[in-house]
Amino acid sequence: MSVAVSLEEVSCVFSSAGRAVRAVDGVSLQVQEGEFFTLLGPSGSGKTTCLRMIGGFTLPSAGRICIHGQDVSQLAPYARPVNTVFQDYALFPHMTIADNVAYGLMVRGVAKTQRQARAQQLLELVQLPDVGQRKPGQLSGGQRQRVALARALINQPKVLLLDEPLGALDLKLREQMQTELKSLQRKLGITFIFVTHDQHEALSMSDRIGIFNQGKIEQIATPSDLYSRPSTRFVAEFVGTANVLHGAAARDLGYEGTVMLRPEMIRLGMGSHRSVQGTVQDRQYFGSFWRLQVAVQNSAVELTVDVESTSAQPIPQSGEAGTFHWSASAVHTIADAASAP
């Protein structure tokens, strides 16, 4: 598999209020051809700036960006073999849907009949074959998102950049579009680079994820590796819910250094590896499971515990005591001690 996009020690420094702000700081990564790669991180972590540099909307202050081996670091957006889907879709309200989709071909001087035929093919691809003569204002948010995808794909880019394109959708539609977007990417085989701050979105769609924090990459890995084997405390706490214990808190439970224990790996009752007594401080119902906040007896440790709603054992109420256990394999040691306070 060849490399579609590579960043080599890329930085981006802005001037703000008379001081230099390092939005992206020495980022290096490689995205494979045909991969669904996600840039994930909190607001202000540098992920969107990184995407904009790949697209050519922001130029790097240092480093090199290559697309299929070509150095594009200083090229304008139109000179790069990429296209971008933005969160607000940026559809032309006065144009029909077909003309919106065909816009890129019109700019390139493609004949009207040819571009109309190609636009119809793309609308069929995104499962909107009958909306060509409507205007954007006549479509739902999910439909407009699909139109934006069709428009971005019509010029057959080698890489498609997606800047939080699902952010404006409600939860149910967002989850539906996650499935459809991943299916479309597999069908086309185009490299997708996707930006989001939503960890669930990233985990469900991506082949690999790069975690951003304060302008740097903390870890690049598959979703399952990020969740099960985070390399830093930041990754452990940002991706999913985690009990991260360090120092005295870890020692209270019999561990050294910094360890992570996911809530769903803790069970009710006694176990062979480690069992603790605790009092439930609070509990929340999430449908398939109850989330308990448990104050561990004779310790300052508080654990988050997820118990399946169908548990055969009675689930303690708030204020009630219980016994909780986990296996040795449930405990992950975070080797990057510098990530712990």
> pLDDT tens digits, residue range 13-25?
988 777 888 999 9
Domain(s) labelled CATH 2.40.50.100 in the chain stretch across 241-339
Architecture of domain 241-339: Beta Barrel (2.40)
Higher pLDDT, 146 or 62: 62
Give the model's confidence band at 143: pLDDT under 50 very low, under 70 low, under 90 confident, else very high: confident
**Domain boundaries 3-230, CATH class:** alpha beta
Q: Which pair of tokens denotes residue 229?
A: 């084997």
Q: Is pLDDT at 339 greater than 50 in this prediction? A: no
How do 267-268 and 321-326 pair as beta strands? antiparallel
From CA 248, how far away is CA 227, in angstroms rounded? 24
Residue with tokens 């990057």: 336
From CA 50, how far away is CA 214, in angstroms rounded? 12
Mean of per-residue pLDDT scores for the chain:
91
DSSP bridge partners of 212: 217
- Between the two ends of the chain, the Cα-to-Cα distance in Å is 40
The residue-averaged pLDDT of 305-312 equals 93
Q: Is pLDDT at 58 greater than 90 in this prediction? A: yes
Give the model's confidence band at 336: pLDDT under 50 very low, under 70 low, under 90 confident, else very high: low
Residue 304 parent element (H or E): strand 302-308
Q: Which pair of tokens denotes residue 320?
A: 């009630």
Residue with tokens 């029909």: 96
- pLDDT for residue 166: 78
Identity of the residue numbered 190:
I
Tens-digit pLDDT profile for residues 258-284: 999 999 999 999 988 999 999 999 999
Q: Which pair of tokens denotes residue 257?
A: 């250094």
Helix (H, G, I), strand (E, B) or coil at 46: coil
Q: State what percent of residues in the chain have pLDDT above 70.
A: 98
101 close to 123: Cβ distance less than 8 angstroms: yes
Tens-digit pLDDT profile for residues 79-130: 999 998 887 777 889 999 999 999 988 888 889 999 899 999 889 888 888 9
From CA 6, how far away is CA 285, in angstroms rounded? 44
Could you give the C-alpha distances from 128 to 93, 145, 285, in angstroms and in order?
18, 11, 38
Radius of gyration of the chain (CA): 24
Domain(s) labelled CATH 3.40.50.300 in the chain stretch across 3-230
The pTM of the full predicted model, rounded to 2 decimals, is 0.89
Tens-digit pLDDT profile for residues 145-179: 888 888 888 888 899 999 987 776 777 777 877 88
Q: Which pair of tokens denotes residue 1?
A: 């598999």
Q: Is pLDDT at 340 greater than 50 in this prediction? A: no
Identity of the residue numbered 103:
Y
202 close to 195: Cβ distance less than 8 angstroms: no
Spatial CA neighbour of 169 closest among 211, 201, 128: 201
Q: Which pair of tokens denotes residue 142?
A: 């999910």
